[in-house]
C-alpha cells in the first residue's frame, strides 16, 4: 500500500549533527530536503576510479574471493588495478600497431638501416621501397634502377636504387622507420608485457567482491556528505536545522532517532511547490511486486499502489514470452533447491525465491494450455491436448467456419 508522508523540521545542536545524520542514514526513514537549492554534487574521483576498477575485474575469469574488511587498502588496490589495466591497454594498442607494421614490411625481409645508409653513402645512390597494385602493368625495362621483390596481399613490391629520390607512376613509396628484426623483437617484449600485466590483474581478481563492498562504503559516505550540505545553521553555527519527509508508518523509528540524538522535531506545512515522495509499504506477495515496481518506475503520489498488479502481469507475460512448460519445470526445480538449501532465507533472498516459485507455476500452467514442453508438441490424439487452450480455440474456430 502507499503510505502518506509528513513534512518535518529537525532542529538540534551542531555537536549532534553527525550522529543524527548517521542514525537517519542507517534506519532509512527520512528523506532530507535540500532547502539550499544546492546542485547535485559531482561523484568524487575516488568513487569513479573504484567503479572503473570493478569494471576491469568483472571482465576477468571468476576466482575465489578474498574476504577482508580492511577498507584502508581499497584505494591502493584500485590504483594498482587501474595502473595494470592502463598498462595492458597501452601494450595491446602497441601490439596492434606492431602487427600492422610487420605485415606491411615483412615482404622486404630483415636488414640493417645503418648498413643501408652506409651503402647509400658509398654508392651515391638512394634506396627506396615501393608498392603497387598487381592489376597495374609496370614497365621494368624502362626503369633499370627498379627491382621487383615479391607480391603479397594483392600488391607488387619493389626496391629502387636510383641516383636520387624519385617517384614512379602507379606506385606508392613505403617509408620504413624500423627494420623487421627490431619490430619483431619489440613485439616479443610487448607480448611478455601483456602476459605480465594480465597475470597481475588475474591475481587482483580476488578483490572483486571486496571492492564492491568498499564502493558501498564510499557511496554511503558521499551520500552522507551530500545530505549534510542541506543543513542551515543559526546562533553562530551552534544550531543546525534541516527539513525532511517521513512516512507515517516510520514514526516509531523517528522517535528513537530523536531521543537518541536530542533533536527537536516539528511538523511543517506542505506547500504547493513541494514535490511529495512516494512511499510504499507492503508485505507478503505485494512486497515481491513492490520490488518489481521499483525496477520499472515509481508511481506518483496520487496513484494507487500497483504492486500486486505488476506482480500478476509480470508472471503472465513472463510465461507468455517463454511459452514452454518445460522451462517452468526447470524454474520449479530451482525453487525447490532454494527451499531445501536455504530454508531460512529472509529479506530480498526470500522474495527472489518466492518470485521464482510464482514464475515456475505460471510457466507450467501456460505450457499446459499451449501444449508446449521444451519445444515439443503433443500428438493430435494425446489426452494432454484436452487441456490446450490453443486446441480449444482451434476447434471452436473450425466449427464456426464449418457451420457457415
pLDDT in 10s for each residue of the chain, 404 residues: 878 888 989 998 888 888 888 888 888 888 888 876 655 667 889 999 999 999 999 999 988 998 888 888 899 999 999 999 999 999 999 999 999 999 999 999 988 889 889 988 888 889 999 998 887 666 666 778 888 889 888 898 999 998 888 888 888 899 999 999 999 999 999 999 999 999 999 999 999 999 999 999 999 888 888 888 888 888 888 899 988 888 888 888 888 888 888 888 898 888 888 888 888 888 888 989 888 888 888 787 777 888 999 999 999 999 999 888 888 999 999 999 999 999 888 888 899 999 999 999 999 888 888 877 787 766 666 666 666 766 677 777 777 778 87
Same domain, 400 and 323: yes
Cβ–Cβ < 8 Å for 1, 196: no
**Residue corresponding to grid cell 537518541:** 260
Same domain, 400 and 289: yes
pLDDT, residue 40, reads: 61
C-alpha cell at 212: 564492491
pLDDT, residue 143, reads: 76
pLDDT, residue 184, reads: 94
Compute, in degrees rounded to 10, the torsion defined by CA atoms 242, 245, 249, 254: -10
If DSSP codes are grouped into helix, strand and coil, which group holds residue 3? strand
DSSP letters for 167-222: --TT-EEE--SS-HHHHHHHHHHHHHHHHHHHHHHHHHGGGHHHHHHHHHHHHHHH
User: Does any domain span residue 298?
Assistant: yes
**Number of domains comprising the chain:** 4
User: pTM higher than 0.75, yes or no?
Assistant: no
pLDDT, residue 379, reads: 65
Q: How many residues does the chain have?
A: 404
Same domain, 268 and 320: no
Same domain, 303 and 373: yes
Cβ–Cβ < 8 Å for 5, 247: yes
CA angle 59, 60, 62 (to 5 degrees): 115
Q: Provide the H-helix boundaries in 229-342.
A: 251-261, 285-296, 307-322, 325-341
CA pseudo-torsion sign 26, 31, 34, 39: positive
CA pseudo-torsion sign 371, 372, 378, 380: positive
First to last CA, the chain: 52
Q: Are strands 126-133 and 172-174 parallel, antiparallel or unpaired?
A: antiparallel
CATH of residue 262: 3.30.70
Q: What domain range includes position 166? A: 111-178
- At what angle are helices 307-322 and 325-341 packed, to 10 degrees? 130
Cβ–Cβ < 8 Å for 162, 128: yes
User: Does any domain span residue 308?
Assistant: yes
In angstroms, rounded to a whole number, what is the distance separating the alpha carbons of residues 384 and 380?
A: 9
pLDDT, residue 5, reads: 86
pLDDT, residue 80, reads: 95
In angstroms, rounded to a whole number, what is the distance separating the alpha carbons of residues 364 and 323?
A: 9
Same domain, 96 and 194: yes
pLDDT, residue 386, reads: 67
User: Does any domain span residue 369?
Assistant: yes
User: Does any domain span residue 361?
Assistant: yes
Same domain, 70 and 94: yes
Same domain, 144 and 171: yes
CA pseudo-torsion sign 379, 382, 386, 388: negative
Same domain, 396 and 321: yes
Amino acid at each position: 500500500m502507499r503510505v502518506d508522508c509528513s513534512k518535518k523540521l529537525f532542529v538540534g545542536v551542531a555537536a549532534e549533527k553527525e550522529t543524527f545524520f548517521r542514525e537517519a542514514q542507517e534506519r532509512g526513514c527520512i528523506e532530507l530536503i535540500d532547502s539550499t537549492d544546492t546542485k547535485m554534487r559531482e561523484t568524487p574521483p575516488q568513487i569513479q576510479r573504484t567503479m572503473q576498477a570493478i569494471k576491469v575485474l568483472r571482465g576477468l575469469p571468476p576466482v575465489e574471493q578474498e574476504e577482508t574488511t580492511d577498507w584502508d587498502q581499497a584505494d591502493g588496490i584500485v590504483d594498482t588495478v587501474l595502473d595494470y589495466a592502463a598498462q595492458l591497454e597501452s601494450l595491446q594498442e602497441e601490439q596492434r600497431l606492431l602487427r600492422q607494421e610487420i605485415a606491411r614490411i615483412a615482404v622486404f625481409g630483415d636488414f640493417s638501416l645503418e648498413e643501408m645508409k652506409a651503402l647509400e653513402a658509398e654508392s651515391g645512390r638512394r634506396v627506396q621501397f615501393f608498392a603497387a597494385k598487381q592489376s597495374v602493368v609496370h614497365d621494368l625495362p624502362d626503369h633499370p634502377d627498379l627491382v621487383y621483390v615479391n607480391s603479397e596481399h594483392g600488391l607488387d613490391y619493389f626496391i629502387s636504387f636510383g641516383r636520387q629520390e624519385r617517384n614512379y607512376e602507379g606506385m606508392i613509396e613505403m617509408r620504413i622507420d624500423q627494420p623487421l628484426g627490431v619490430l619483431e623483437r619489440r613485439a616479443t617484449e610487448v607480448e611478455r608485457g601483456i602476459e605480465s600485466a594480465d597475470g597481475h590483474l588475474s591475481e587482483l581478481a580476488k578483490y572483486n567482491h571486496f571492492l564492491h563492498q568498499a564502493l558501498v562504503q564510499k557511496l554511503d559516505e558521499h551520500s552522507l556528505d551530500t545530505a549534510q550540505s542541506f543543513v542551515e545553521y543559526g546562533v553562530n553555527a551552534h544550531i543546525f536545522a534541516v527539513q525532511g519527509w517521513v512516512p507515517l508508518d516510520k514514526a516509531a523509528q523517528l522517535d528513537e532517532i530523536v531521543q537518541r540524538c536530542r533533536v527537536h522535531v516539528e511538523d511543517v506545512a506542505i506547500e504547493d511547490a513541494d514535490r511529495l515522495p512516494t512511499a510504499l509499504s507492503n508485505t507478503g506477495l505485494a512486497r515481491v511486486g513492490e520490488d518489481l515496481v521499483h525496477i520499472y518506475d515509481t508511481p506518483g503520489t496520487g496513484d494507487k499502489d500497483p504492486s500486486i498488479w505488476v506482480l500478476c502481469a509480470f508472471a503472465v507475460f513472463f510465461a507468455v514470452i517463454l511459452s514452454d512448460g518445460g522451462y517452468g519445470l526447470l524454474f520449479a526445480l530451482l525453487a525447490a533447491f532454494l527451499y531445501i538449501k536455504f530454508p531460512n532465507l529472509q529479506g530480498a533472498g526470500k522474495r527472489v525465491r518466492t518470485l521464482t516459485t510464482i514464475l515456475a507455476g505460471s510457466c507450467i500452467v501456460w505450457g499446459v494450455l499451449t501444449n508446449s514442453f521444451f519445444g515439443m508438441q503433443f500428438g493430435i490424439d494425446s489426452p494432454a491436448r484436452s487441456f490446450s487452450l490453443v486446441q480449444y480455440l482451434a476447434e471452436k474456430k473450425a466449427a464456426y467456419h464449418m457451420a457457415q
